[in-house]
Structure 1
Amino acid sequence: MEYETIQVVQAYAYWFITLLLVVLLYAYIYHLYKSQRSGKIDYEKYARLALDDELNDRLIEKRNNQDKKKES
């Protein structure tokens, strides 16, 4: 292939990947918004996770120990 053809292919690939990543980002943001709105997950609880990271701080959510096969 000629150099100009490679540049054109690179340009189209760049725009395609950029558009794909933008669509994926907006889909992820919509998923987070929908989960927060429906009450499935409360992301505001996790907002202070970086600040409340001491060992004696209150837990964000209780741990579920239903699976007895796990060692931890």
Structure 2
Amino acid sequence: MDYETLLTLQGYTKFFLILVVFILFYSYAFSIYRRDKKGERDFEKYSNLVHDDSSVSAPLEERTSKKDIGNKEK
């Protein structure tokens, strides 16, 4: 391969990698926006963690273990 072909290949590769990263980022941002609007998760609480990070703060979400889930099904 000559030098110009390598540069062209490098340009196309960079373009498609940037395109993939762009699509992944915006799909993730859209999923966060959609979950926030549906009410599945309140991301405002997570942003408040920056200001209120003491060890005596109340947990944001209740956690259940696999044992608890198995006991509910029986």
TM-score (norm 2): 0.79
Identical pairs, percent: 32
The aligned amino acid for 1:52 is D
The CA distance in 2 between the partners of 1:37 and 1:49, in whole Å, is 20
Give the paired residue count.
68
The CA distance in 1 between the partners of 2:62 and 2:53, in whole Å, is 15
The aligned amino acid for 1:3 is Y
- Structure with the larger helix share: 2
The CA distance in 2 between the partners of 1:49 and 1:67, in whole Å, is 29
Segments ≥4 residues shifted beyond 3 Å: none
The CA distance in 2 between the partners of 1:65 and 1:13, in whole Å, is 45
Moved more, 52-61 or 29-38: 52-61
The aligned amino acid for 1:37 is K
SS in structure 1 opposite 2:60?
A: coil
**Uncovered stretches (5+) of structure 1, i.e. residues with no partner:** none
Q: RMSD in angstroms over aligned alpha carbons?
A: 1.5
Q: CA deviation at 1:22?
A: 0.9
2:5 alignment counterpart: 5
1:1-72 → structure 2 map (5 Å cutoff):
1-67=1-67
TM-score (norm 1): 0.80
Give CA-to-partner distance per residue, 1:15-38, whole Å, 9 cap, x none: 111111111111111111111111
